[in-house]
Structures are given as C-alpha cells and as structure tokens.
Amino acid sequence: MVEQKKKILIVDDEPEFAKLIKTRLTSEGYLVDTAKDGQQGLDKVKACPDLVILDVMMPNLGGIEFAKIIKESPQTAKIPIIFLTAKEDEQTRIDGIRSGADYFLTKPFDSAELLEIIKKLVHRNA
C-alpha cells in the first residue's frame, strides 16, 4: 500500500518566508499550499490539510483568531497547528496555546526541529 502524501497549509503574510518553508517541505515529500493571511487561509483550510503552519500577526485575520475558528469547526477541529512566528512574548504564546496550537515556535527556528514536529503531528493518527 502506497502512503498518500501529507498536505500542509502555510498561512503567513511574508511571501519569501512562506516560499522558503514550502520549498523545504516539498523537498521532504509534502504537498504544500500557502495563504497570504488568515482570511485566505480559512478558504484553503476547507480542503482539510493534515497540518497548518501559522503566523500570529497577519492582516485581515490574525493567526490566533484563525486557529480559534478552525478549532471550533467540526470539519477542521482535528487539524494540528504549529505557530511559527517572530512574536515571542509570553502572553502571545499563552494565547496561541489557548487557541488550539499544538506547538509554538519562534523565528528564527531550526528547520530540523520543525520537520520532526511535523512528522510527529501528521503521522500520529496515520
């Protein structure tokens, strides 16, 4: 039996950063889509990716609000979330965890650590 490629959605308003992560994850065999903000992310999360990587501060709809919305919907509530953000104050981390995040990483980050977290989250229910 051939395992299906896992789908990851990156929601980040910095196109170069999203492209960098997308390139790295694609080289690891993941199918990756991107959204430029939380509002566009809400449209794309309806395709039920296996994981969402999310920034906190974005125009139109921020990451914490986005996470709360998808965790309240029965169709998307089980999708794991990784916050990957430059905003590292304690209150933001707490708000991120309360919103349903599985992990909270700050930029700059170690790509090997991110890959291990992704593997753990997308394969835990496989």
- Residue 125 is predicted with a pLDDT of 56
Determine the pLDDT at residue 1. 45
Q: What is the DSSP letter of 7?
A: E
- Are residues 55 and 36 in contact, defined by beta-carbon separation less than 8 angstroms? no
Using CB atoms within 10 Å of the CB of residue 97, give its burial: 0 to 12 exposed, 13 to 18 middle, 19+ buried: middle
Report the percent of the chain where pLDDT is more than 90: 78
| Phi then psi dihedrals of residue 12, to 5 deg | -155, 140
Q: Where are the domains of the chain?
A: 7-123
What's the pLDDT tens digit per position in 28-67? 999 999 999 999 999 999 999 999 999 999 999 999 999 9
SS3 120: helix
Contact indicator for 36, 14 with CB cutoff of 8 Å = no
Right CATH number for 7-123 from 1.20.120.1730, 3.40.50.2300, 3.30.450.40, 2.40.50.100? 3.40.50.2300
**HEC profile for 41-109?**
HHHHHCCCCCEEEECCCCCCCCHHHHHHHHHHCCCCCCCCEEEEECCCCHHHHHHHHHCCCCEEEECCC
- CA 46 and chain centroid, separation: 14
Q: How confident is the model at residue 101 (pLDDT cuts 50, 70, 90)?
A: very high
- H/E segment holding residue 33: strand 31-35
